[in-house]
Amino acid sequence: MYEQDECIFCFEIFSPKNKDDTSFNTDDITSCENYINTILKNTLTLKCQHTFHTGCFIKYIKVKYTTWIKTQNVDDTSIFYVSCPFCRTFVKNHELLEILDNLTPIKQISGCISNILVKLKFQMGLLKFSFFCRKLLNLQVTTNYLKMTEIYENWEFLDTKIQVITKNTCCLYKRLLKNKEYDFILHNVNLL
């Protein structure tokens, strides 16, 4: 069997799972980014024993799904499926659902980030008001507003990154749940 020491999608060498990166502080952007990267860089081994990064394989699933959606007719009854990029063994829908469940903590972080963005936007509004009042009174302008803007932009960038990572996964998840009963058909075809 082929010995894998790197992901075929990103060509990065698999790193050992670090248990220290399994927790994060929702108030610290660096902690959140490290947690997300840890989830995406975790290794995933399919039933056929081929290994990939979780994030890379999820991108692969999303690309296959997007391509499949674009090629479907309205009355087409074909079944969406994913196969291993190495050996073309079909990946069962319940396996794909488990893989997509790895995104759940990332989606939860997105909710926390949304709350942080609302608070920061409010604080920025207050600082902006203060900034203009000081300017009208010819007082020295503080750099708090600029710092707050930078913090807000960093959190907003992380939120956008999460949106890109999780884009279309909800529809895909529902499709896989709907097609879960077709697993036996795909695997019987594979045996022929």
CB 109 within 8 A of CB 26: yes
Please report the DSSP string for 123-151 in residue order: HHHHHHHHHHHHHHTTPPPPSHHHHHHHH
Question: How far is residue 38's CA from residue 163's CA, in Å, rounded to a whole number?
Answer: 17
Q: Please give the torsion angle defined by the CA atoms of residues 153, 156, 162 and 165, in that order, rounded to the nearest 10 degrees.
A: -70
**189: pLDDT strictly greater than 50:** no
Q: Answer whether 62's CB lies under 8 Å from 176's CB.
A: no
Between CA 10 and CA 8 the distance in angstroms is: 6
Mean pLDDT of 132-151: 74
What are the DSSP calls for 27-95, one per residue? Answer: T-HHHHHHHHHHHHHSEEE-TTS-EEEHHHHHHHHHHHHHHHHHT--TT------EE-TTT-PEEPHHH
Q: pLDDT: is 170 or 73 the higher one? A: 170
**Domain limits of the chain?**
19-191
**Predicted local confidence at residue 159, as pLDDT:** 92
pLDDT score, position 2 = 59
CA distance 10 to 6: 8
If DSSP codes are grouped into helix, strand and coil, which group holds residue 111?
A: helix
66 token code pair:
């997007």
pLDDT digits (tens, 9 = 90+) for 57-81: 999 999 998 888 888 775 566 778 8
